[in-house]
A and B are shown apart, each in its own frame.
Chain A
Amino acid sequence: MNPTETAIIKEEELDQLLLELAEQYGYDFSHYARASLRRRVNRLLIVDRFPSFAELLYHLRNNASYLKRFVEEITVNVTEMFRDPHAYRIIRTQVLPVLATHPFIRIWHAGCATGEEVYSMAIMLQEAGLLHKSLLYATDINPAVVEQARLGIFPMRHMKQYSENYIASGGTREFSDYYTAKYDWAKFDDRFKKRMITATHNLVSDRSFNEFQLILCRNVLIYFDKTLQDQALQLFDESLEKLGFLVLGTKENIRFSGIAHKYAPIAEKEKIWRKIA
């Protein structure tokens, strides 16, 4: 089988798969961006060696346990610490000083994947002397990655890159002071974990659950179609205090969404907005 063949799964097969996932398991992927989703399903057919689409469908129907793997593999969980350091630099210099004026700070990382960005934020809060009065909510659709986020243990091989990102974001401490190295793993200090609440949350079907001064949702909306993007942005709007901040991925935008008129850009290129209405 050719690993890069694009047309293994037909459009009507993908439709059928999405319908059954929604009906049997309550996972609604129907408004995920189609081209990317098709690639993910094709990839899974190859990686898990299904001889045909019918086999995958049969397996999903009859093995509830396979659903867990399916969701893990269909959703993209790529993340890193201090990814796009410029965005973090602006959060450090322009957002945190505003948050500092609040008696209590609530931050939501929506679609946090394995949690690297949550720990990055916690480090910045610590350095700004704000961690003790902050709570970081980290949510993702995928239970497996939420568990990883809760542990705060990341591969040692990435620490050199993360350390460079940290410095580029304006960090001036010794990055390695924040974790303990053990074999191939870096375990981040427990004081960060103590300020975090991790949970599964599905941006498609779950509601707003609190009000925040800062919401970050980076490189999650790219996997949604415009309808679902708009719905998710509405959810963020409902969950954000007036004068709160919204941070998206550097190639994502609120420009054409229903909430655009309520937000003013803080940093156009880094995709940071402030809710003004």
Chain B
Amino acid sequence: MAQDSLRRQRLVVIGGSAGSLEIVLSIVAGLPALPHAAVLIVLHRKQSADSVLLGLLAGRTSLPVREVEDKDPLVPGGIYLAPPDYHLLLEGRHQFSLDDSEKVHHSRPSIDVSFESAAYAYGADTIGILLSGANADGAEGLLRIKERGGDTLVQDPATAEVYYMPQQALLLHPGHRVVAGNQLHQALLEYL
């Protein structure tokens, strides 16, 4: 138990856009209890669809799922969803904050913003996963995670509904681990 509490807390940040929803659900489905990690999901989505997505996620896991409000605490074991129309940042390792500044890559929430903020707060304890999408958001942020010693996974563009986003990340930095969409759940478990 004493040793357990010394284990490093990890933050899993998953970013996706067009064509990523099914993969996100498959990653989350059947996740075991996570005493040493929290999961943050940042998806490009329409403002009106918010409660739908929350319900879909909650239907696939017994872990608590919450759409983040400003200054919410980040608690291990939880799955957190970035709200529409705000960038999601971390204030240190245990608190979220929101920001409604300019869109990045035409997106708010921007995956880059959350990835960079996660890399800053969690450094090598960050696990970044970038999925299917039709824009370049996330590529820079994933590189920041890598630079700070975190683990980075990219959905194999060949298995992505829209290859552009994962491909951009790999063009910027070929060193990310490439994993087929249907293998990502299993791959993630290796780090937890």
Interface residues, chain A, with chain B CB atoms under 8 Å away: 2, 4-7, 33-36, 39-40, 76, 78, 219, 221-223, 225-226, 229, 249, 251-253, 256
- Chain B at the A interface: SS class: mixed
| Inter-subunit contact A222/B144 (CB<8 Å) | no
Q: What's the least CB distance linking B104 to chain A, in Å?
A: 8
- 3 nearest CB pairs, A to B: A35-B89, A4-B140, A36-B99
Residues of B near A5 (CB, < 8 A) are 144
| Inter-subunit contact B99/A251 (CB<8 Å) | no
Residues of B near A249 (CB, < 8 A) are 70, 100
Say if the beta carbon of B113 comes within 8 Å of chain A: yes
Closest to B89 in A: A35
The residue from A2, A7, A34, A252 contacting B70, defined by CB atoms under 8 A apart? A252
Residues of A near B60 (CB, < 8 A) are none
Which B residues from 68 to 100 make CB contacts under 8 A with A?
Answer: 68-71, 83, 86, 89-91, 97-100
| Inter-subunit contact B100/A221 (CB<8 Å) | no
| Inter-subunit contact A222/B119 (CB<8 Å) | no
Instruction: Give the most central of B70, B89, B91, B113: most A CB within 10 Å.
Output: B70
| Inter-subunit contact A4/B112 (CB<8 Å) | yes
Say if the beta carbon of B120 comes within 8 Å of chain A: yes
Residues of B near A253 (CB, < 8 A) are 69-71
Interface residues, chain B, with chain A CB atoms under 8 Å away: 68-71, 83, 86, 89-91, 97-102, 112-113, 116-117, 119-121, 140-141, 144
| Inter-subunit contact A78/B71 (CB<8 Å) | no
A35-B117, A251-B69, A253-B70 given; A225·B102 CB < 8 A: no
Complexed CA–CA distance, A50 and B43 (Å): 33
A251-B70, A251-B83 given; A6·B100 CB < 8 A: no
| Inter-subunit contact B101/A252 (CB<8 Å) | no
Residues of B near A78 (CB, < 8 A) are 100-102
| Inter-subunit contact B69/A39 (CB<8 Å) | no
Closest to B113 in A: A39
